[in-house]
Amino acid sequence: MAPPTKVDLRMGPVWLLLLLLTPLLSAQVSIVSELRNTAESEDPTASVVSATGESGTPYSPDPSGSVTTPSEAPEEDWTSAEVFLYSGDYSVLGLVECDRAYSLTGQNGPLPRGFYGPLRPSMDALANTANFLNMIFQASDLRESTVQEDMEWYHAMVRALLEADPLIRQALLTFDADPASTTPQLVLRASRNPAPPRYQNILLQDLSSQWESLHLPAPAPDDTWFSSFKFPASSNQPTSTLSKRVLLNDLSTLDTPKWGRGDSYVTNRSGVRWANGPFLECEDGRFLPGWLLTLSTSFYGLKPDLSPEFRGVIRVDVNVQGFDVNQCDTGDAWFANTHQCNRTTMECEPITGQGFRLGQYCCRCKEGYYSPPDEGGALNGSGGEGGGVCYPALPICLPCWPGCRRCEDGAPCWVEEDWFLRAGVLAVQGFFMLLVFISMLVAYQFRRSRRIRASGLLLLETILFGSLLLYFPVFILYFKPSTFRCILLRWVRLLGFAIVYGTVTLKIYRVLKVFLSRTAQRVPYMSSIHLLRLLGVMVVTVSWFLCAWTAGVLQNRDRNVPLLIISTTSDGQGFSLCDLDRWDYMMAVAELMFLCWGSILCSAVKPVPSAFHEPRYIGIAIHNELLLSSMFHLLRFVMPSLHPDWMLLLFFTHTHVTITVTLALLFIPKFLHVSRAGREEIAEEVYEDEVDLRRSGSYLNSSFTSAVWSDHSLDPDDIRVNSFSALDTY
């Protein structure tokens, strides 16, 4: 190693001195730092040294007055903003200081449907202002002037934009000069400041030199509201919606404009864009209450080739604190389908009138599910008073009994029918219908019997056929109700009633017409064919009525007025049944009125004798039907929610105490009657079909008396006189 030179030896003491001064200086610096901290703690009003080295003025890169946090400060706490998003309580915003705005990013979809109506004035104001600037820079001589020459115009414009809607908190107007620059040439901002209730202050600021301070790091809002219009390709944003207009001038009395034809491009409300989320403004270290939504649109000049050229952006920040957020909505709108309800078992219902707050919804169980009472739930599908559980609490939804749409617990909600009882009823009903069918065959087999001929074979067969129709409602009620079965039920009931009681009433009417005539003149004979013709008129009338009712039912179904409804029993169990309407009341009243007419006829023929006393038994049958049918219809209309099994028993009982009794009264006396000679034999049912239907038509058109006593040598007129004399003495 080379020996040290004079310079090295001479510098040795210097290095030694420096080594000794280093720890001394460190100690001094630490002592000064401690003294400064102590002084600041004792004097809270001490000035803060700014980043520029000047004291007395805090560093505020944000023109709103926000104070930035030093890089060595702990991580920011945005809890107060998040709590305010759910609670809407303004007091929580004052608990924590802020250094910049807080934005809810990530909402890339369309605005909620409830936002468009309240935002329409602000959007229209933006579109109108943009079109005014489009005309200024495209269709007038001002397009060749500079921004500085017309600065006062722009001051007035941004102030006027602030007054377009009371919801607008602040408005910005930017002008762009360099197509490649990411910052605009001019930035004007007009904002509302708190003021006494009688007036408001509008603060106008030129922030051209503070562009970067407007867009602090996240979670503060970024500059996409400007860059997405200037650089649409890089921001994946579509080009602004512009419509071309051809402008023609005919202003000969004015010196301007100097051109007679020009081109212009205008925009509309659809060209307004919104930010990816609302934000909370930070001012003086505190969040200002109310979420703000940024709306912006661009205006354009013209290039030499008359194509649009970007010139700037207009922006307004609208207070959306009063707008409801619907997390139950479907689609891709803001906060849509972000609720916490179970998608399988629950349905979400928003709570309106809560403003811009999340968590304003309730979860209710869907149809087919229920919430136990101890979980605070309610019936599925119920709404309004206390139904469901609201966020943040969530109900527990359990499935109802299979087939139940609404339930309070897991018990069966549909009535459980007694199938053994119903099968027994159906078997008995089928047995009686089989007896009626056999009776039709027996009556035809013994059609030459005097007892059958006395009542008329055709009339008896008609009565038996009508009784089969009256037995059918029990079969229909055995099965599950449907629209077709409800219609069929009315048809078989009304047609069967018209056939059975129409026939017996016409038989009484024939008796009344023949035997209560106090004259010896011939009375036209009413054969069974004649009675069937009258019965046909009745059946056709009833059929027209049923056709009209059926057409009305089918038309009502198209109007969502169903014939098949859901009812519940007294214990809350549901079942399907055919709805009863005013048509059913009319049918019941028509039946009772017809039976009243038959009752009057029966009272009139009481004195008439008969070999088998058929008029007397017909009268009993009609009065029995009148009394029991009145009670039946009364129960059916008063108790429409009767259990299906009880309703089946009601129809079954009504059928047998009416139509079965009627058939018994008409047929049993004929077979049990013992022929009696004498005066009663002379007056036996000569009004019935004792004539031989095989005779010629002229024979049927002859007088009834001569047809009956054709085997005797007496004159027919004498026989009629003698018959009436016998009746008077009976």
Which residues make beta-bridge pairs with 565? 577
Condensed to tens digits (0 to 9), the pLDDT of residues 298-336 reads 998 888 888 888 889 999 999 999 999 999 998 888 999
| Full DSSP string of 45-74 | TPPPBPTTS-BSS----STT-PPPPPTTSP
User: Quick one: which of 582, 589, 573, 586 has its CA closest to 641?
Assistant: 573
User: Quick one: which of 279, 224, 274, 285 has its CA closest to 103?
Assistant: 279
Look-up of token digits 């107060």: 80
Is the per-residue pLDDT at 235 higher than 50?
A: yes
Look-up of token digits 């922030």: 207
Dihedral, CA of residue 603, residue 606, residue 608 and residue 609, to nearest 10: 150
Question: Rounded to an integer, what distance in angstroms lies between the CA atom of residue 291 and that of residue 201?
Answer: 21
Is the per-residue pLDDT at 67 higher than 70?
A: no
| Full DSSP string of 649-711 | HHHHHHHIIIIIHHHHHHHHHHHHPPP--SHHHHTS-TTSS-S-TTS-HHHHHS-HHHHHTTT
Q: Is the previous residue joined to 562 through a cis bond, with omega within 30 degrees of 0?
A: no
Is the per-residue pLDDT at 431 higher than 90?
A: yes
Confidence class for position 384, pLDDT limits 50, 70, 90: very low
CB 308 within 8 A of CB 242: yes
What's the pLDDT score for residue 13? 36
Question: Rounded to an integer, what distance in angstroms lies between the CA atom of residue 724 and that of residue 714?
Answer: 15
Residues 6 or more apart whose CB falls under 8 angstroms from that of 465 comprise 440, 499
Confidence class for position 653, pLDDT limits 50, 70, 90: very high
User: Quick one: which of 388, 269, 239, 284 has its CA closest to 328?
Assistant: 388
Q: What is the DSSP letter of 409?
A: S
Helices first, then strands: H and E counts in the chain = 18, 19
Residue, of 232 and 433, whose pLDDT is higher = 433
Average pLDDT over residues 147-158: 84
- What the chain holds in terms of domains, given with CATH numbers, is 102-251+267-319 (3.30.450.20), 419-729 (1.20.1070)
Condensed to tens digits (0 to 9), the pLDDT of residues 278-303 reads 999 998 888 988 999 999 999 988 88
CA 402 to chain centre: 24
What's the pLDDT score for residue 185? 86
Question: Rounded to an integer, what distance in angstroms lies between the CA atom of residue 423 and that of residue 507?
Answer: 37
Is the per-residue pLDDT at 24 higher than 50?
A: no
Q: Give the highest mean pLDDT range of 266-275, 451-460, 681-690, 713-722.
A: 266-275
